[in-house]
Amino acid sequence: MDKKVVIELQNVRRDFQVGSETVHALRGISFQIHEGEFVTIMGTSGSGKSTLLNQLGCLDTPTSGEYYLDGVSVRTMRRSQRARLRNRKIGFVFQNYNLLAKTTAVENVELPLMYNKEYSAKQRREAAIAALQAVGLGDRLEHKSNQMSGGQMQRVAIARALVNNPAVILADEATGNLDTRTSYEVLVLFQKLHAEGRTIIFVTHNPEIAQYSSRNIVLRDGKIREDVINHNILSAAEALAALPAPQDD
Amino acid sequence: MSLINLFKIAIKAILNNKARSFLSMLGIIIGVGAVIVMMAIGQGSKQSIREEIQKNGTNMLTIRPGADMRGGVRLDPSAMQTLKQADYEAILNEAKFVNKVSPEVSTSGQAVFGSNNTTSTCYGESTDYLSIRLWQVEEGLFFTEEDVKKSAKVCVVGQTIVKELFPNGQDPVGKTIRFKNIPLRIIGVFKGKGYNNWGMDQDNVIVAPYTTVMKRLAAQTHFNSILCSAVTEELSDQAIEDLTAILRRTHKLKDSDVDNFTIRSQQEWMETMSSTMDTITIILVVAAAFSLLVAGIGIMNIMLVSVTERTKEIGLRMSVGARGLDISNQFLIEAILISLTGGLLGVLFGALLTWGCNTLIGYPAIIPMWSVLVSFAVCVAIGIGFGYFPAQKAARLDPIEAIRYE
């Protein structure tokens, strides 16, 4: 593999002060993620996966060690520099969608581009529509967030993560709030994005999801316990088709 | 983020919470409304005082006994009796920039006709009085030089006297009333002038020759004041200088003595009255401005609640790339917009109150344009001042905690 390295962690540690005690959330994490990988990061609660996600998402900086995102060192960056980096290089998908209330799908998707001066209002809207079409919501552009189902909301959130054409999409338990069928629908979408060459990091505690990704990293107590390439990627579309037909309601 | 987008977001946030936004504006609306109406009343009063003074002729000069009293201490009573017949004659004969002179003596008392009586003031004047004060006789005639010379027992009365003493519509001209038991024959009636700004009934007057009032009614040898007309308004200052020189001579004042009389032009009167009104206006406006301060604190309170309520939104915005500055600008603009909208509604509210003042109460009130502009400027300042703290609080949120806030 001589593909570009998108993410590189070198012995990343993160300590928190809780009262007089120091909690070591990450105890020296090192890995590289190349362009086009679909990586699941797994671990039980307390394993440090949320802390790792915050590091990868440039929401936080390491206590020690180095983190390079797309070749740029994040550790020494100021808050506003990291905000800019998130805006240009990262697309977040959250467990509970985090859409703006009483706001249409297009406006929600436009949000990241609002903080990018290079986009005009027209370009912003065009990019948002394209992203919504890519997630199969081309016919729900003007629907407000409270008029959509969970699956639709999560697809709007994915469109929002795509709209800035990021170096990496970070999904945090992106199927955690969805039923089985909708979860598979969302996984189908992630696999489609993977097939299109996008780099995806999917943080989850659900071991099933690892079967659909190209690589699986397991954390325990702030350390990497397992880092394996998945040579037998299952198709989420097939799994979806195998599900019993939804009952009419 | 661009300013236009920030405004769009702010407008949306305000509209999403209409009731709360309106309630937080209410303080500003009332505060600005109060400031506007106070300023309008101040301005209106000033203007009507001006008009009142102008009605009495802008070139009128008033000579009063005693030194300038503005902010001073009243000296012994004899100092108040310095204006004498000799002064009047000297002015008549020598004054260059004055073409009308009337000494004034006044005394209050009861006017009686038949079974009716009323309390009034009798002014003793010369024949120049009408043209100095720009008054008009509606019925009958004003008294003549002859009447003055003979201290004739004649008078000209105002409308209020007519109304009080002749309630049955009799023609007052030719009737003889008694004032302080002295019979005075009415030879004329003044045209009505109404109340002046100090609430004084300008029609409750009896004007008689000054000689009559001095000798028969007041029994005094000094004048209460001397009224003059400068030839033109522009010559008022020169007239004052000239009159001062004449009076200093007739009063035999040494160079080291201060004037024992005061000459005021109408301009000075206007200035004095205006500055008094200004002081009153400032006090009222400052009181109203305090309510704006309270309103600002109200906005700050609501914005703080709003920041807490929208913690998750702030976290989301930060995670998709909003910098602290973007977030603080967003909340600052929202605060400014609330305050400015409140200001706009407040100006309308103030205009409504002013209109009510004019039409319902009949008190003259004029909204000065600059007070509207100042109100808007103050609203922006309140928005920035009281929005700053909540905006900073929002900007300093940790995106990790904010996004997971429930």
Q: What is the ipTM of this complex?
A: 0.93
Per-residue pLDDT band at B112 (split at 50, 70, 90):
very high
pLDDT at A111: 94
Per-residue pLDDT band at B334 (split at 50, 70, 90):
very high
pLDDT at B275: 86
pLDDT at A248: 56
Per-residue pLDDT band at B386 (split at 50, 70, 90):
very high
Region A206-232 average pLDDT: 93
The Cα A96–Cα B405 span in angstroms is 11
**Inter-chain residue contact A94 with B403, CB threshold 8 Å:** yes
Measured in angstroms, the CA of B365 and the nearest CA of chain A are apart by 45
The Cα B8–Cα A165 span in angstroms is 25
pLDDT at A233: 92
pLDDT at B118: 92
Closest Cα partner for B399 from A92, A60, A111, A23? A60
Among the partner-chain residues B312, B321, B326, the one whose CB lies closest to the CB of A98 is: B312
Mind listing the pLDDT tens digit for each residue in B307-323? Answer: 999 999 999 999 999 99
Burial (Cβ within 10 Å: 0-12, 13-18, ≥19) of residue A22: exposed
pLDDT mean across residues, chain B = 89
**Across-strand partners of A216?**
A40, A228
CATH superfamily of A36-64+78-242: P-loop containing nucleotide triphosphate hydrolases (3.40.50.300)
Q: Which amino acid is at B261?
A: F
Q: Which amino acid is at A245?
A: A
Mind listing the pLDDT tens digit for each residue in A45-88? Answer: 889 999 999 999 999 999 999 999 998 999 989 999 999 999 99
pLDDT at B346: 95
Closest Cα partner for A79 from B287, B31, B242, B322? B322
Residue B110 near residue B122 (C-beta atoms within 8 A): no
The Cα B184–Cα B177 span in angstroms is 5
**Inter-chain residue contact A98 with B400, CB threshold 8 Å:** no
Rounded to two decimals, the pTM is: 0.75
With beta carbons under 8 A apart, name residues in chain B contacting A87: 320-322
Mind listing the pLDDT tens digit for each residue in B267-285? Answer: 887 788 888 888 988 898 8
Region B121-147 average pLDDT: 91
**Inter-chain residue contact B323 with A160, CB threshold 8 Å:** no
Task: Retrieve residue B248's tokens.
Answer: 């200093």
Among the partner-chain residues B320, B323, B403, the one whose CB lies closest to the CB of A111 is: B320
Where do the structural domains in chain B lie, given as residue ranges? Answer: 3-52+272-403, 103-226
Mind listing the pLDDT tens digit for each residue in B140-182? Answer: 999 999 999 999 999 999 999 999 999 988 899 999 999 998 9
Q: Is a pLDDT exceeding 70 seen at residue B78?
A: no
Closest Cα partner for B320 from A59, A232, A218? A59
The Cα A187–Cα A162 span in angstroms is 15
**Higher confidence at residue B229 or residue B78?**
B229
Among the partner-chain residues B1, B321, B400, the one whose CB lies closest to the CB of A84 is: B321
Helices B369-395 and B324-356 cross at an angle (nearest 10°) of 150
Residue B391 near residue B329 (C-beta atoms within 8 A): yes
Q: Which of A87, A116, A160 to mutate to test the interface with B (most CBs of B within 10 A)?
A: A87
**3-state percent breakdown (helix, strand, coil) of chain B, nearest 5:** 55, 15, 25
**Higher confidence at residue A215 or residue A101?**
A215
Closest Cα partner for B339 from B311, B375, B366, B392? B375
The residue of chain B nearest to residue A81, with distances taken between CA atoms, is B323
pLDDT mean across residues, chain A = 92
Residue A56 near residue A219 (C-beta atoms within 8 A): no
pLDDT at A3: 82
The Cα B66–Cα A115 span in angstroms is 76
- Mean pLDDT lowest among A116-130, A176-190, B41-55, B353-367: B41-55
Task: Retrieve residue B79's tokens.
Answer: 């100092």
The residue of chain B nearest to residue A164, with distances taken between CA atoms, is B320
Residue B390 near residue B314 (C-beta atoms within 8 A): no
Region class of B233: left (phi > 0), else alpha (psi between -120 and 50), else beta: alpha
Q: Is a pLDDT exceeding 60 seen at residue B70?
A: no
Task: Retrieve residue B216's tokens.
Answer: 């028969």
Residue B160 near residue B118 (C-beta atoms within 8 A): yes
Per-residue pLDDT band at A1 (split at 50, 70, 90):
low
